[in-house]
């Protein structure tokens, strides 16, 4: 039987891991990936909308992303939004769609990405620690000392598991970033 405090911690940890993986998906690794541009905000129809809400995003090959807006009138707005993003990529607008050809990453850029991967992993570990503290405070309120000890042990195992998962995801992304 799982305690609600432990299951609450595990649910919070799952959210942290999903967020970390989503952030890693946004990092440029030298390979084309739709998640690299889908979060970019585009000024369209008098509002700011994410790229994935106004266009079809596809990967043509390992180095090329193709963006085809559902409404050609916002093509210039998409082009401008990509140029203003800090991704270091230049779009090519052919009048009906936008192509982004990713340049090969330099060794210096790879090292910068590696540092960013580490920072995001550390931020995830901090979130796990904060969630652990919240769960631990709730467990300390329990009057039953035997149950409290058992729950603290379960909580520590869940924390260790979460940290292992963060390390696995970090190592995988690091390898992807450093691969030439």
pLDDT digits (tens, 9 = 90+) for 122-134: 999 999 999 999 9
Query: The whole model's pTM is what?
Result: 0.73
Higher pLDDT, 44 or 165: 165
Number of structural domains (the chain) is: 2
pLDDT at 180 (0 to 100): 63
Each residue's pLDDT tens digit, 3-60: 888 899 999 999 999 999 988 877 767 677 888 888 889 998 888 999 888 999 998 8
Flag whether pLDDT at 82 surpasses 90. no
| Residue showing tokens 């995801």 | 169
Considering the domain architecture, whether residues 87 and 116 belong to the same structural domain is answered as no
Residue that wins the pLDDT comparison between 167 and 38: 167
3-state helix, strand, coil in the chain (%, to 5): 60, 15, 25
As to burial, measured by CB atoms within 10 angstroms (0-12 exposed, 13-18 middle, 19+ buried), residue 157 is exposed
State residue 179's pLDDT score. 78
Q: Which of 79, 101, 123 is the last residue of a domain?
A: 101
Query: Residue 42: which domain range?
Result: 34-101
The whole-number pLDDT of residue 25 equals 79
Q: Where is the domain boundary, 42, 66, 101?
A: 101
110 shares its domain with 174:
yes
Q: Are 16 and 42 part of one and the same domain?
A: no
| CATH code of 68's domain | 3.30.1360.40
Same domain for 111 and 88? no
Average pLDDT over residues 109-130: 91
Span 149-160, mean pLDDT?
Answer: 93
Query: Do 38 and 16 share a structural domain?
Result: no
Highest mean pLDDT among 74-78, 104-108, 165-169: 165-169
Which has more pLDDT, 1 or 21? 21
Do 146 and 121 lie in a common domain? yes
Picking from 11-20, 55-64, 105-114, 161-170, which range would have the lowest pLDDT averaged per residue?
Answer: 105-114
Convert 2-40 into a string of H (helix), E (strand) and C (coil). CCHHHHHHHHHHHHHHHHHHHHHHCCCCCCCCHHHCCCC
């Amino acid at each position: 039987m799982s305690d609600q405090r432990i299951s609450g911690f595990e649910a919070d940890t799952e959210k942290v891991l999903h967020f970390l993986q989503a952030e890693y998906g946004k990092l440029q690794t030298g390979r084309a990936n739709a998640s690299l541009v889908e979060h970019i905000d585009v000024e369209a129809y008098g509002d700011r909308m994410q790229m994935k809400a106004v266009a079809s995003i596809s990967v043509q090959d390992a180095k090329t992303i193709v963006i085809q807006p559902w409404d050609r009138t916002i093509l210039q707005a998409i082009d401008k939004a990509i140029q203003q993003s800090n991704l270091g990529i230049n779009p090519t607008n052919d009048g009906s769609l936008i192509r982004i050809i990713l340049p090969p990453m330099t060794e210096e850029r790879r090292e910068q990405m590696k540092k960013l991967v580490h920072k995001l992993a550390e931020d995830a570990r901090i979130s796990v620690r904060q969630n652990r503290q919240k769960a631990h405070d709730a467990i300390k309120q329990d009057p039953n000392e035997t149950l409290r000890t058992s729950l603290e042990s379960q909580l520590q195992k869940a924390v260790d598991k979460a940290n292992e998962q963060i390390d696995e995801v970090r190592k995988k992304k690091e390898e992807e970033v450093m691969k030439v």
